[in-house]
Every structure is written in structure tokens, then in C-alpha cells.
């Protein structure tokens, strides 16, 4: 006869009555490999649990440790030297596939590159409120260190920050703001060394008119 | 301002949790996420707190050393390069702080240090290899449990870490189960736990 997991848990915790524990020990001695494997695993857990039960971390000590954390004041890209990224791909300038009459005018794919990072960006205008949604992924060809440190991205009109967010650990981000003139996408690490500026205005320049035409008159 | 990237990430992966890999928790901390910091503490609190006791610290001194270790980590957050080494970094810092505490007692004549501790340079590995192996093994067990599905994690913690121990009737009531059903859930969770331990090199000998 085998014993249940519950009985073995009580056994390794020393909660089994002496007579029953002796019988269980005899069962283990009879070379029951399954029960022995289970007891080995449970004993490993019990060894750790025994220590943690004996040394519970005081709630006050945990609270003090948690209170240490103060999110650092965010370094703005306005504080960093800025470099302009070049456009290395723009879906608008790609020939249409054979048989395709027209591309979706609301969506554009653009790739920017600077000396420190590359950014693949999808730009989408969402009607009817004319919201520009920017989703993308940053990559750092030379080193992953920048991404590991945590990068931030922002949409700006050159004077005001219209939207800002952290990129996740894979460099992915999403931002949105109203579709307007003079937009720039900026990516930077709070540790520097520089903020990379991606000029969306140049990309969106001619596009605005076609999007406006599709959506109705611009305000 | 929007923070859609973190909202999307949270929808996909859930809020920061002690089951997250260290690299993800550290990145989230650097991005200012308080919950990631709390998850880091939840993940390593038992390990960090246990080390001063190996040096004979009292509860008050252990709590001071515990806080010092987290202050060190907070200051090092921007500079920590190797997230995979976080566990041994924390153990080493806790050991050094404990040794420093013990030396301060010795200077005040309150304790006599063994010769090997007296001769240790300040930057030596403060824990002997066998003690470090125990610390690592205990932490591996905690992480194996933390990586279980939430219900199994909770059940295993109830069954092993609760002091005084709870009965299976109480455990069943905790999960809103009939007493007869807890055996099935427990069996499934223990098998997952065995698997998690094996994956981390802690299978049956």
C-alpha cells in the first residue's frame, strides 16, 4: 500500500504520530522508489520551509525596505544632446505588389537609423478623431546595454511633450497623440548619451493631405 | 501623457511578480515601477534575512542588515550589469554586512571572532562555500514554488510554510473546496512542484 501526498507531507513535517511514522519509514525501507522520490522532493522543500518558518521576516523590516524605493526623477530628452536619425525605409515609397491597386492610406511603416539605435515604426491615423498611433520597436545593433538600462520614447511637437512612455525590455513601445504638424518621435536612455530624434513631420508631410482627403476636411 | 507600452506589457504578462526573471524585475525597477521593487523584495527577502543569523545576529541587527542590503541594491540599480548574478550579489552583500556587524561587536569586545573570520579581507567572499550552497539551494526551492501556477503556489505555501500547520480541512476551506477534493488538487500541485525542482537540479537523489 502507498501513502498519499498529504500523508508524506505530514511525515516530512514531523506531524505524523510516532507509530504511523514508523510504518511509513518501514514502507520507505521496502524500496518503494515512487514514495522515496516523493519524500526526497518534499524533504528538500521542508528543509527550506523549516528555516523560513523559524525566521519569518518582520513585516516592519519589509515595509522599511519597500519604502527605500523612490523612482528617480525622469531625465527629459530636452536635457540630452540630440541627434537626427535618417530614414532607411518608408513603405510609402515601395512599389505596390502585382495586382494590388492601392495601399491602406491610414498605415505607414518606416525605419529610422542613427549611430546608436534603429527604430521600426508603424504610423496609423485613426479616424474619426484623427489620432496618430505610433507603435514600434527599438533595437541597438551595437549593444543591448541601452535597452537593458530602460529606454523611453516620446512624441513631441518640438516644444511640448505630447506623449511619453517607457519601451519594454524588448524595445517595444506604443504612443498616440492628435495628428498635427511638426511631430517628432524621440527615443533616449535616461543615462544618455544622446536623444535620437525621428522627424515624423518629414514622413507625414505629403501623407497628411491624402489622409485628410480620405477622412474629410481637416479642421 | 500615455503609458500604453507598460499597460500592454501588463495585460500580456500581468503585474510584476516574484516569479518574473531578475532581468525583467530590474528593468522595471529602473523604469520606476515600485511594484517591481516590491516583487524583488518578496522574491529574496527570506534569503537576505537568513544570512545575518548565520553570523549570530539578533532580530534587531538582522533587520538593520536586511535594510542595508536593500539600500545597497537601490543605489546599485543603475549600474548592475549582470542580472543573472543578482542572487549571489545579494547573498554576498548580506554576508559582508553581517561580517562587518560582527567585527564591530568584536572591536567593542562583545564577541570573539574565529581566526578565519578575523583574517578575512573586507572584500573576500564572506560565506564559506557550503553555507553559500545552502543559501542557493533554499533560494532555488523558493523560486521553484514561486514559479508554480498561483493556486498551486498558494497551496504549497499553506502546507509547508504556515506555522502552526493547518489541517487539510482548513486548506480545503481556504480554496472553497470540499475536503474530499483537496487531495486531487494537492496531488496535481505536488507533481508540478516535483517537476519544478527537477528542472532546477533539485530532483530526487
- Convert the pLDDT of each residue in B27-49 to its tens digit: 888 878 899 999 999 999 999 99
- Tens of pLDDT, residue by residue over B136-188, are 999 999 999 999 999 999 999 999 999 899 888 999 999 999 988 899 999 99
Distances (CA, A) of A75 to A163, A187, B11, B41: 15, 12, 27, 26
Give the ipTM of the model, two decimals please. Answer: 0.86
Q: Sign of the C-alpha dihedral, residues A8, A10, A14, A18?
A: negative
**What are the grid coordinates assigned to A204, written together?**
507625414
Find the CB nearest A40 among B46, B193, B205.
B205
Q: Average pLDDT of chain A?
A: 84
- Tens of pLDDT, residue by residue over B83-127, are 889 999 999 999 999 999 988 888 877 666 565 555 555 555 677
Mutation pick from A11, A28, A31, A48 vs chain B, by most beta carbons of B within 10 Å, is A48
Residue span(s) of chain B under CATH 1.10.10 come to 148-205
Are residues B93 and B135 in contact, defined by beta-carbon separation less than 8 angstroms?
no
Residue B12 contacts by C-beta under 8 Å, 6 or more apart in sequence? none
d(CA A114, CA A136): 15
Q: Please report the pLDDT score of residue A215 as a whole number.
A: 45
Residue B44 contacts by C-beta under 8 Å, 6 or more apart in sequence? B87, B90, B139
Q: Please report the pLDDT score of residue A214 as a whole number.
A: 47
Q: Please report the pLDDT score of residue A169 as a whole number.
A: 79
What class does CATH assign to B148-205? Answer: mainly alpha
Interface check for B63 against chain A (CB to CB < 8 A): the answer is: yes
Mutation pick from B190, B191, B193, B196 vs chain A, by most beta carbons of A within 10 Å, is B190
CATH 1.20.58.110 fits B10-127, yes or no: no
Interface check for A173 against chain B (CB to CB < 8 A): the answer is: yes
Q: Average pLDDT of chain B?
A: 86
Interface check for A48 against chain B (CB to CB < 8 A): the answer is: yes
Residue span(s) of chain B under CATH 1.10.1740.10 come to 10-127
Q: Which residues numbered 127-156 in A keep a CB inside 8 Å of some CB on B? A: 145, 148-150, 153
Interface check for B80 against chain A (CB to CB < 8 A): the answer is: no
Q: Please report the pLDDT score of residue B118 as a whole number.
A: 55
Amino acid at each position: 500500500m502507498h501513502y498519499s501526498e498529504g500523508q508524506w507531507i505530514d511525515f516530512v513535517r514531523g506531524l505524523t504520530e510516532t507509530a504511523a511514522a514508523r510504518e511509513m519509514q518501514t514502507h520507505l525501507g521496502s524500496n518503494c522508489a515512487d514514495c522515496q522520490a516523493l519524500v526526497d522532493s518534499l524533504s528538500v522543500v521542508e528543509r527550506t520551509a523549516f528555516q523560513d518558518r523559524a525566521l519569518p521576516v518582520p513585516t516592519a523590516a519589509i515595509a522599511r525596505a519597500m519604502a527605500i524605493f523612490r523612482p528617480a526623477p525622469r531625465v527629459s530628452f530636452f536635457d540630452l544632446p540630440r541627434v537626427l536619425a535618417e530614414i532607411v525605409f518608408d513603405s510609402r515609397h515601395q512599389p505596390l505588389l502585382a495586382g494590388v491597386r492601392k495601399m491602406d492610406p491610414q498605415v505607414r511603416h518606416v525605419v529610422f537609423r542613427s549611430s546608436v539605435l534603429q527604430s521600426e515604426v508603424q504610423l496609423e491615423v485613426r479616424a474619426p478623431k484623427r489620432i496618430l498611433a505610433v507603435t514600434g520597436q527599438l533595437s541597438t545593433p551595437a549593444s543591448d546595454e541601452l535597452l537593458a538600462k530602460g529606454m523611453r520614447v516620446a512624441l513631441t511637437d518640438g516644444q511640448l511633450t505630447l506623449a511619453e512612455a517607457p519601451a519594454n525590455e524588448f524595445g517595444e513601445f506604443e504612443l498616440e497623440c492628435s495628428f498635427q504638424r511638426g511631430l517628432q518621435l524621440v527615443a533616449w536612455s535616461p543615462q544618455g548619451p544622446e536623444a535620437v530624434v525621428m522627424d515624423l513631420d518629414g514622413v507625414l508631410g505629403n501623407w497628411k493631405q491624402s489622409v485628410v482627403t480620405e477622412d474629410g476636411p481637416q479642421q | 501623457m500615455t503609458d500604453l507600452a507598460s499597460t500592454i506589457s501588463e495585460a500580456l504578462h500581468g503585474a510584476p511578480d516574484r516569479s518574473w526573471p531578475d532581468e525583467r524585475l530590474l528593468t522595471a525597477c529602473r523604469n520606476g515601477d515600485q511594484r517591481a521593487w516590491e516583487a524583488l523584495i518578496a522574491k529574496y527577502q527570506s534569503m537576505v534575512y537568513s544570512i545575518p543569523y548565520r553570523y549570530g545576529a539578533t532580530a534587531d541587527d538582522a533587520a538593520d542588515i536586511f535594510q542595508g542590503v536593500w539600500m545597497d541594491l537601490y543605489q546599485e540599480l543603475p549600474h548592475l550589469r549582470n542580472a543573472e548574478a543578482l542572487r549571489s550579489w545579494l547573498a554576498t552583500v548580506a554576508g559582508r554586512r553581517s561580517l562587518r556587524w560582527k567585527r564591530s561587536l568584536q572591536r567593542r569586545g562583545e564577541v570573539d571572532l574565529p581566526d578565519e573570520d578575523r583574517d578575512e579581507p573586507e572584500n573576500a567572499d564572506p560565506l564559506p562555500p557550503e553555507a553559500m550552497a545552502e543559501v542557493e539551494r533554499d533560494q532555488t526551492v523558493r523560486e521553484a514554488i514561486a514559479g508554480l501556477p498561483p493556486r498551486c503556489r498558494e497551496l504549497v505555501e499553506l502546507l509547508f510554510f504556515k506555522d502552526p500547520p493547518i489541517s487539510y480541512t482548513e486548506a480545503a476551506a481556504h480554496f472553497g473546496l470540499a475536503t474530499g477534493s483537496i487531495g486531487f488538487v494537492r496531488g496535481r500541485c505536488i507533481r508540478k512542484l516535483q517537476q519544478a525542482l527537477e528542472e532546477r537540479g533539485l530532483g530526487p537523489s
